[in-house]
Amino acid sequence: MTSVRPAPAPVTRKPSPPGSGSLTKTQRRLGRDWRLAALFLAPTAVLVGGLVLLPIARSVVTSTTERHGQDSVFVGLDNYLALASDEQFRTGVLNSFVFTAYAEVFKVVLGLSAALLLHHRRRGRSVLAGLLLLPWVVPTVVTAFSWRSLLDPIFGSVNMLLTQSGIGPLLVTLNLVDSWPAGWLSDPSLAMPSVILVNVWKGVPFFTVAFLAGLKAIPAEQYEAATVDGASPFQRFIHVTLPGLRHVMTVTVTLSSIWTFNNFDLIWLLTQGGPGDATAPYVLVAYTKAILQLQYGAGAAVTLVMLPVVGALVFVLVRLLRRDGDSTPRRRAGIGQAGPVRKALPWVIAAVVTGLLAWASPHIFWKAAVVLGVLLLIVAAVGWVVTALQGWGRRRASSVASGLGSALGLAGLLLFVLIPLYWIVVTAFKTEGQIVMHTRDLWPTPWTLQQFGDLFTTKPFGRWYLNTILVSAASTAVALVFAALAGYALARLRFRGAQGFTVTVLLTYVMPGALLFIPLYQLLIGARLTDSLWSLVLTYPTFTLPFATWLLTGYFSSIPVELEEAALVDGCSRIQAFGRVVLPLAKPGLLAVALFTLTNAWNEFLFAFVFITKDEYKTLPVGMQSMIIGDVVPQGQLAAASLLVSIPVVVMYAFGQRFLTEGLTAGAVKG
């Protein structure tokens, strides 16, 4: 799952508490609190160093070797040089760039549209926001299964609806599809657009939440001043809204680009990289070489050669998150000279990227251009009507037109979001006969629990469920304890190297799993921990602990230091003050971290897919994927499994929404 990863507040250093006394020579050199900091940071440092940094270093060494039988032979840079003539690698890299670029464009457009519609709505906003959040909450395996079923060329509802409405034949006339009914996931010209569509469906909630937070931070006085100056709604959007969202938008797109560029699970579950290599990203190429062909060196070279791309995105992200939100006098002084360049640069970059996309994927470019054009024309038409009515003095009519346009926009978004989820629910309660013979029924007749019974009697689903609970709970407990200690040390304690440790946490926080799964797989083979739940308990904190540490650092910084100083004056030690004062006050942040880490572990696919092969040790995402054998897809059982997998996550988010909001608000960077 593409889960939300907010950026915590910068680490702030508070003055020394009363009674700190004079500092020793060692304390002056290493920092006043270096002993306690070393104690608190040791668990996180050992885990991050042993399971992230050392595996990356090992991956570099592995990339210079080639396997011959049971031995690895040093070959220098041969694996890297071979990639230059590797057609599969070139296709994978191009697919990753195309997939990321188009997905981010549509996520920005739809996420911003949803945020604007919700921001201006007074009634039912929380309910609508919760509904729009569902694609982000449901596991990726559920997303892939539901969309695979909807896009089925024969039994899928998408082709059925497009045929009945007459849109399908029109798509053939417009040359947007080659034939009808369309093979959305089997046609090489349609597979990538279809995968992009599903990724957009999954990722729009993240952008909506981020943009909603950014819109709330824009002062209302700016809109009022623009209105007084006679600015139209479109002008207010261009000159107030977009500049106000610039920082949030840049951070959100950068983070999402890192995750999308390194996506594996969604593409594998939808198409397994097919047809041919039409949708295979570079991560799948690395998986094929390392895991299927046992050429670890070649697979490691594939992931490492793409590291500069990820590194550039991480560098941009670090610069953005460390930048102060307020303009300094130095920046103001340079506006007159650099302003035109800064204004022109985004348009130049957009033009270059557009040209490259049109050259690299012309069949996708024109499809995307048509869809975006239609969306923009609808928005422009509504805006023109509202503006014209206001200009004619018909404020009531303009208000009605604006409300009607917003209602239609929200209705369209809700249909886009809820139809795949509705399909899962109704399919789970159909009989096998209804699914096979009446797949187009919109309602089960009659309702039945047959699929749930078959799921538990014919598949080890109960075992998969228990495995997922155990692994998720254990990895969450490890992340929560270690992150609470490290986050407190980074937020409160004074010691040399705090900034470097914080940056290291940030780097591991955005480090893609694609870079780690090969060296971790080798490490687990050496320790004989593959096909064991311990392999997942040990490796899951590599992506949950950095996030938890980063978020709690920001949350601990938001707690008034005076409360802790009062406890120290009353005779408490630093550890006692941490346990008795800080932790109880950090309850919302701890619950937010627990919720995120638990759902991330619950939904994880890549590590479980690579490290586990035996049925008795599989987790839910991998187990559900193994239920599909060739062209045989047990739709009813998969729908029942999807419902059972999603319900716990939805319930957790429903009950933990208040703590989640409070925890993220305190730990997030204000743009």
Residue 221's pLDDT band, with cuts at 50, 70 and 90, is confident
- Residues contacting 258, CB < 8 A, separation 6+: 310, 313, 314, 317, 510, 512
CATH code, domain with 135: 1.10.3720.10
Asked if residue 325 has pLDDT above 70, the reply is no
Residue at a domain's end among 265, 296, 322:
322
User: Quick one: average pLDDT of 104-115?
Assistant: 90
Asked if residue 484 has pLDDT above 90, the reply is yes
Asked if residue 324 has pLDDT above 90, the reply is no
**How far apart are alpha carbons 444 and 508 in whole angstroms?**
47
Confidence (pLDDT) at 23: 67
Is residue 508 one of the residues assigned to a domain?
yes
Asked if residue 343 has pLDDT above 60, the reply is no
Question: Which one has a higher pLDDT value, 462 or 376?
Answer: 462
Question: Which one has a higher pLDDT value, 666 or 608?
Answer: 608
Peptide bond into 420 cis (omega under 30): no
Confidence (pLDDT) at 543: 83
**How far apart are alpha carbons 78 and 73 in whole angstroms?**
11
User: Quick one: average pLDDT of 441-465?
Assistant: 88
Confidence (pLDDT) at 361: 74
CB 300 within 8 A of CB 518: yes
Residue at a domain's end among 322, 339, 367:
322
The parent domain of residue 593 ranges over 453-670
Confidence (pLDDT) at 116: 86
Number of domains in the chain: 2
Is residue 615 one of the residues assigned to a domain?
yes
Confidence (pLDDT) at 441: 62
Is residue 295 one of the residues assigned to a domain?
yes
Rg, C-alpha atoms of the chain: 26
Same domain, yes or no, for 317 and 459?
A: no
Residue 294's pLDDT band, with cuts at 50, 70 and 90, is confident
Helix or strand or coil: residue 393?
Answer: coil
Q: What is the pLDDT of residues 540-549, one digit of tens each?
A: 988 888 878 8
Question: Which one has a higher pLDDT value, 157 or 602?
Answer: 602
CB 375 within 8 A of CB 109: yes
Confidence (pLDDT) at 471: 95
Is residue 199 one of the residues assigned to a domain?
yes
Confidence (pLDDT) at 353: 62
Residue at a domain's end among 273, 305, 322:
322
Lowest-confidence region among 290-294, 403-407, 468-472: 403-407
Q: Report the DSSP beta bridge partners of residue 71.
A: 68
- Residues contacting 319, CB < 8 A, separation 6+: none
Is residue 639 one of the residues assigned to a domain?
yes
Is residue 79 one of the residues assigned to a domain?
no
CB 185 within 8 A of CB 194: yes
Q: What is the pLDDT of residues 530-588, one digit of tens each?
A: 899 999 999 998 888 887 888 888 888 888 888 888 888 888 888 888 888 888 888 88
Q: For 448-477, give the DSSP string.
A: --HHHHHHHHHS-HHHHHHHHHHHHHHHHH
Question: Which one has a higher pLDDT value, 5 or 57?
Answer: 57
Asked if residue 398 has pLDDT above 60, the reply is yes
Q: What is the pLDDT of residues 642-671, one digit of tens each?
A: 999 988 888 877 776 655 555 554 444 433
Q: How far is CA 260 from CA 138, 282, 286, 312, in A?
A: 17, 12, 16, 15
Asked if residue 336 has pLDDT above 70, the reply is no
Same domain, yes or no, for 317 and 457?
A: no
Is residue 471 one of the residues assigned to a domain?
yes
Asked if residue 632 has pLDDT above 80, the reply is no
Confidence (pLDDT) at 367: 72
Residue 349's pLDDT band, with cuts at 50, 70 and 90, is low
**How far apart are alpha carbons 670 and 213 in whole angstroms?**
9
Residue 475's pLDDT band, with cuts at 50, 70 and 90, is very high
Q: What is the pLDDT of residues 81-90, one digit of tens each?
A: 999 899 999 9
Confidence (pLDDT) at 667: 47
Confidence (pLDDT) at 131: 80
Confidence (pLDDT) at 552: 86
Residue 8's pLDDT band, with cuts at 50, 70 and 90, is very low
Is residue 67 one of the residues assigned to a domain?
no
Select the highest-mean-pLDDT range: 30-39, 313-322, 509-518. Answer: 30-39
Confidence (pLDDT) at 585: 86
Asked if residue 64 has pLDDT above 70, the reply is yes
Asked if residue 452 has pLDDT above 90, the reply is yes
Asked if residue 18 has pLDDT above 80, the reply is no
Question: Which one has a higher pLDDT value, 592 or 281?
Answer: 281
Confidence (pLDDT) at 668: 44
